[in-house]
Each structure stands twice: as C-alpha cells, then as structure tokens.
Amino acid sequence: MQAIEKALKTVFDFIRNDYCLPQGEFLNDDFDCGNSIRNPYYGQEPSKVKFMFGTQKELNIWLTTTKDKYPLVWLVYPLFESYNNNPESLYTYKGARLVFAINNDSDKLVQTRIQTTRFILDQIVENFKDLMYQSSLKKYVWVDKLVDIKEIFHPNYSVNEQKTIGTIDVWDAVTFDCDLHFTPACFKN
C-alpha cells in the first residue's frame, strides 16, 4: 500500500462506525404522506467503514472474496500523482475519485433510498469531509478547498452504470471527485 492509500485508510479508520442507521421497523415516507417504508436496516448495528482501492478488476475480485464489505469507500484507480523533485514535496492527486457505497435491493424506489441508503452514505461523506477540513489529519492529507468538489448520488449504481462501472454487487453510491493533497514526510513521522 502506498502512502496516500495508508493515509486514507487512517482517515476511514477514524470514522469506524460513526454513523446512524434509520430507526424503527417502518419509516414514515417523507414523499408520500401517510405511507410507511420498511426499514432494511431494522435491528442492525452500524458496521465499520471499509476502505480499499484499485481498478474495476480489483474491485470485483475484492467484492467476490470479501464477506464483511459494506459500507465501502473505494479509491478509484488510475490515480494521477504529481509532485516536484524535493523530498519534502507536497503530492497532489488531481481528480481523485472516491466511491462511497452500500449494498441495496435494486427494486426499491429512489424515494426509499433517500431515507435509507442515502441517509447512511451522506453521514459517512460528511464525516470524511469534516476530517479532511478540520482535524489533525489535515496536516498530512486533505481535500483542496479551492477546487470544486463533484459529489453525485447514484441509486442502483451498478445497475444503471453497468456499461461503464460493472460492479458485481448492487449498490447505492455517492461518487466524490476532488483534488487530494498529501505530505508523505508528515505521515511518516
């Protein structure tokens, strides 16, 4: 594992399972007054956020061989690294993509997902952003504040994006495109 991957793993290890699941066996449907939604997370406890990285091929291998895999944050390769020849150099990863994913049942409506899977994913993304902008981790890895971040919610990510993504599990996902900065010298210390 390279230094940027180790640094991001440390970030997600800080998050652990620090998010809430929707509560109750049934949820009031915010979009259809009076109706209820069955909560797919009823009776469950939040699981630790997993972090991995690689190409599409490695993602599918990892998904096939891993039992406890969600929620998942995947750093998409290729990852473009730029730096200068100084040993204390700042490394920049322009256009880095992190995919925050959770498995789902593809026959649910998007309005159901907003109150279940997206509710969870949004908390994990917010925890990540808080760590990138405000914590002691910022001294060695952070998201560039001066560059736009592109954050997109994808219901049925693997089904709707099958031609380009091709994941073997059905996901709801948030893609998070940003420029990451990393100071390896600070991380080693």
pLDDT in tens, 63-78: 999 999 999 999 999 9
Neighbours of 29 (CB within 10 A): 15
Give me the pLDDT at residue 88, please: 75
Query: Which range is most confident: 26-30, 38-42, 59-63, 148-152?
Result: 148-152
Q: How confident is the model at residue 4 (pLDDT cuts 50, 70, 90)?
A: very high
Contacts with 166 (C-beta within 8 Å, 6 or more apart), sequence order: 56, 60, 158
DSSP state of 183: -
Contact 83/135 with Cβ under 8 angstroms?
no
User: Is the pLDDT confidence value at 1 over 60?
Assistant: no
Quote the domain boundaries for residue 63. Answer: 3-188
pLDDT: which is higher, 158 or 161: 158
Contacts with 161 (C-beta within 8 Å, 6 or more apart), sequence order: 154
Counting the structural domains of the chain, the total is 1
Torsions phi, psi for 110 (to 5 deg): -60, -40
Give residue-wise pLDDT tens across range 104-120. 877 778 888 889 999 99
Give me the pLDDT at residue 149, please: 96
